[in-house]
């Protein structure tokens, strides 16, 4: 029997996946992003539908419960995502600084 939590989980998965699919269709995201998110949401769906799969993973990793293993992997993914965002933000800041300097120099040359 499918519980209310599973239904809500699958509705959320469908909603989240559809958002990235729409972004890809509009050209705002790459296919690689769609594939990555599809894998994440597929794994989430399997874990929601068959909770025993996370228990098997937990035993393989030496963790007490399947939920603990799922949370562990979720935290790893979140930290990696934060690292990537930080790296990209730092690069964007450098690019903005470089462009600002170039524009300031061009404006100064025009005034001379």
Q: What is the reported pLDDT for 75?
A: 93
The whole-model pTM stands at: 0.67
* Helices within 27-65 (DSSP H only): 31-49, 52-61
Q: If pLDDT is split at 50, 70 and 90, which confidence band does 48 have?
A: confident
Q: If pLDDT is split at 50, 70 and 90, which confidence band does 111 have?
A: confident
Check pLDDT > 90 for residue 67.
no
**Vertex 74: Cα angle to 3 and 2 (nearest 5):** 10
Check pLDDT > 90 for residue 5.
no
| Residues whose CB is less than 8 angstroms from the CB of residue 53 and which lie 6 or more positions away in sequence, other chains included | 46, 47, 66
CA 91/CA 84 separation, integer angstroms: 11
Which single residue is written with the structure tokens 């300097």? 101
CA distances for 44 relative to 30, 52, 102, angstroms: 21, 13, 47
| Residues whose CB is less than 8 angstroms from the CB of residue 38 and which lie 6 or more positions away in sequence, other chains included | 17
Q: What is the pLDDT of residues 71-105, one digit of tens each?
A: 888 899 999 999 999 999 999 999 999 999 999 99
The percent of residues above 90 in pLDDT, for the chain, comes to 60
Mean pLDDT, the chain, rounded, equals 91
């Amino acid at each position: 029997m499918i519980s209310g939590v599973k239904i809500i989980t699958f509705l959320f998965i469908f909603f989240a996946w559809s958002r990235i699919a729409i972004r890809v269709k509009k050209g705002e995201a790459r296919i690689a992003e769609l594939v990555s998110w599809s894998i994440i949401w597929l794994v989430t769906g399997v874990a929601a539908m068959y909770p025993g799969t996370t228990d098997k993973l937990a035993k393989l990793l030496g963790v007490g419960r399947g939920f603990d293993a799922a949370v562990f992997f979720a935290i790893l993914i979140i930290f990696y995502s934060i690292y990537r965002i930080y790296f990209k933000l730092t690069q964007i800041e450098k690019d903005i600084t470089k462009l600002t300097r170039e524009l300031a120099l061009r404006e100064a040359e025009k005034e001379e």
